A and B are shown apart, each in its own frame.
Chain A
Amino acid sequence: MRRTGKINRFMKRSLWLFHFNASGCNGCDIELAAAITSRYDTERFGALLVPSPRHADALVVTGAVNRLTRDALKFIYDQIPEPKVVIALGTCACKGGVFAGCYNVAEGVDKVIPVDIYIPGCPPKPDAIIEALAKIAGVKSKKARKMEVKESGSKEDRGDD
């Protein structure tokens, strides 16, 4: 359990986000970018966009996921180190939104990869994005705790030995 505490301590701060545009309209993308720039400035909490998924703690997906981005999304999701958090940003990423029923749309990120946090809105305001960051920290530590159990084995497991 001591190691969990350690991971949690690291997870509390500096959430690094990887932004993935899965056929979004740019609306959510510019609001995410607005959230990291000077007025809202999420960097004061340590949250910033990173260029590589391998450095990221959380994956932010915008858009309704089309056929070409679907496989790329899976590929990038696999590269993010555990414990990972997936955020569906915007109504399209949550459920397809206005594009539901279009022929090249998968209608939601959760059809492709598991999603932890949904932020609806078309597009959500930067305030909503900042609020979600607080939630990520919670989800993250929960996942980290589970992961720890999986690695070292629970008390019962050790009893069996």
Chain B
Amino acid sequence: MGARKIEETINAGIEDLRDTVRSYFDKGYNHIVTITGIDVGENIRLLYHMANMDGDLVHIATETSKKSLKVPTIIDIIPGAYIYEMEVHDLFGVNFTVNPWMKFKLLLPDCYPSDMPPPLWKEVDAKKVQQSLFSIESPACALKEPFSGVSRLSPESMVVPFGPYHPALKEPEHFRLIVEGERIVKAIPRIGFVHRGVEKAAESRSYLRDIFLLERICGICSFIHSWTFVQAVEKLLNLKPPRRAEWIRTMVSELERIHSHSLWLGLVGYWMGFDTMFMWIWGVRETIMDLLELLCGNRVHKSIVTIGGVRRDVTKEKLNTVIKQMKKFMKEFKQIMDEVLSYDEFIERTSNIGVFSAETARKLCTVGPIRRTIGDPYDIRKIEPYGAYEEIGFQVVTENKGDVYHAIRQRMREIYESARMIEVLAKEMPGGEAVPKRLFMGVVPEGEAVARGEAPRGELFYYVKSNNKHNPYRVKVRTPTLANITLASENLKGATLSDVPLVITAIDPCFSCMDRVAVYRKNTGEMFMLTEDDFRKLRRKWKP
């Protein structure tokens, strides 16, 4: 489990695509994982991966020719799908009718040459795109002019730009906040400052090199990226990794979860002006970084997983150090969190901020800890177990309310649970070989496979298509932040400007994960456009 080959797809024509999606939606497959676009010569093939809450996946396939590029939209059935339709629109040029975001061709940089076909078409050369992109001088890409098409909702409202380089954001991202007084009425994210084009690069490199490339999609949850990709490739090869290797992978993955969650908890302190908490937690986090360095040789990009096993074995002494150090970490961490959660100011600052309901989270196909905050036990480790998770057994941690305070408690308790799992893993590590005799350098037989993993931020999805070659035909990545960013902009509605960093951070955004694609959300028809000149005129007219 965890990964599976795509044995059969449900083929639907363009006309009956909506009916097929609707019928599966009614059968309980109400969570859309992603939409994968694949260039198959004359046509673009689209795969709709839909999941239910028990870990089953269906793949609905449809094809459209490169000349027409028209597919009906499904956002009225599943509202959370709009972001995936935009992704496919940008990278493959497919038009979804009638998705209101489609009329703006705005994935990638705004100055992407219009005569160039979309970047993920097979005939497009990455080098040529690079040359033409960096030779264009366009104000649309210079960020000096406001992004066009952002408008006010009423005469009283104002547009406040937030980011892309803002002290409260550790990563570049731009938000246009439409405010009425202090309250935010609408938030429009503009992402794409970290878009590099990894999916295209993965197609041109061998499977072994891809592990290291895909690991560098994100520096915080790097290990789970490489592991999920390797799981899909192992399925295509019909290869079962040794049991000891699976246990080592699981241990590194849980260490990574603790490192990521404690990093986030520290940053929450930083964003609410509680620097002591930031320094404390980042101080104890170094223990985990030491353990990762001990096990993998690296602190950040672990590079320990390989096809058919792991690249380094662990010794008994190292496992004993892990047990000893984890005890020390838990003691210090518990002490800090007890102290922090006993401050009234802390609780008041974080309670009832960024509130969202279970319905909203389900409708927008939210994943990960933020989904579990409202009480849904949606955890890939449980519903589709992989690695050693089934053997060691663990509890899915949930809370019962959607706000920043409960998101903090959720992640804190997940750290406790992970620490317990690491102790079990280190104590009961099975014997045997974990390192394959030689690194995999061969060809992968033709086939398609998908893999899902629970990254620190939620469900991570990989699709790999092989065609008997040394390099994959197509690799598709869906990261948890892309699924969750819709919730963040939803939560910003009604929040005050001073809460913006805390509310955005509640989903634990990781833009470098997400920005292999860029997303642009715009207002629909009934609102009017506001240019910089309009804004100036308005400023002159406005009298307090």
Contact = CB atoms under 8 A, between A and B. Distances in A.
A101 B213 CA distance: 12
Contact of A34 (B134, B200, B289): B289
Contacts of A24: 194, 219, 512
A23 B171 CA distance: 8
B216 to A, nearest CB: 5
B243 interface: no
B130 A37 contact: no
A64 to B, nearest CB: 7
Question: Residue among A34, A66, A99 with the most chain B CB within 10 A?
Answer: A66
A110 interface: no
Contact of A104 (B133, B280, B299, B510): B133
A104 B143 contact: no
Contacts of A104: 108-109, 129-130, 133, 195-197
B172 A25 contact: no
B134 A106 contact: yes
A102 B194 contact: no
A37 B212 contact: no
Interface string B204-231: 1000000011001111101000000000
Kindly state the interface size class of chain B when it binds its partner: 35 or more
A150 interface: no
Contacts of B200: 102-103
A22 to B, nearest CB: 8
Contacts of B144: 71, 75
Interface in B5-42: none
Interface string B446-477: 00000000000000000000000000000000
B126 A101 contact: yes
Interface residues of A, number: 41
A36 to B, nearest CB: 9
Contact of B301 (A23, A76, A122): A122
B278 A29 contact: no
B283 interface: yes
Contact of A66 (B143, B196, B280, B300): B196
A134 interface: no
Interface stretch (B162-170, B321-329, B417-425, B431-439): B162-170
Contacts, number: 149
Nearest to B166: A51
B286 A34 contact: yes
Interface in A43-94: 51-52, 63-64, 66-72, 75-76
B143 A23 contact: no
Contacts of A103: 119, 126-127, 129-130, 133, 197, 200
Nearest to A91: B216
B142 interface: yes
Given A66-B194, A66-B196, A31 B299 contact: yes
Interface of B: 108-109, 111, 119, 126-127, 129-130, 133-134, 141-144, 164-165, 167, 170-172, 192-198, 200-201, 204, 212-213, 216-220, 222, 263, 266, 278-280, 282-283, 286, 289, 299-301, 510, 512, 515
3 closest A-B pairs by CB = A27-B219, A51-B167, A38-B283
Given A21-B172, A67-B109, A72-B164, 10 more contacts: A27-B216, A27-B219, A29-B170, A34-B282, A51-B167, A66-B109, A101-B127, A103-B119, A103-B200, A104-B108
15 contacts: A21-B170, A23-B194, A23-B515, A24-B219, A27-B219, A27-B222, A30-B219, A38-B283, A51-B167, A68-B109, A72-B193, A97-B216, A101-B201, A103-B119, A104-B130
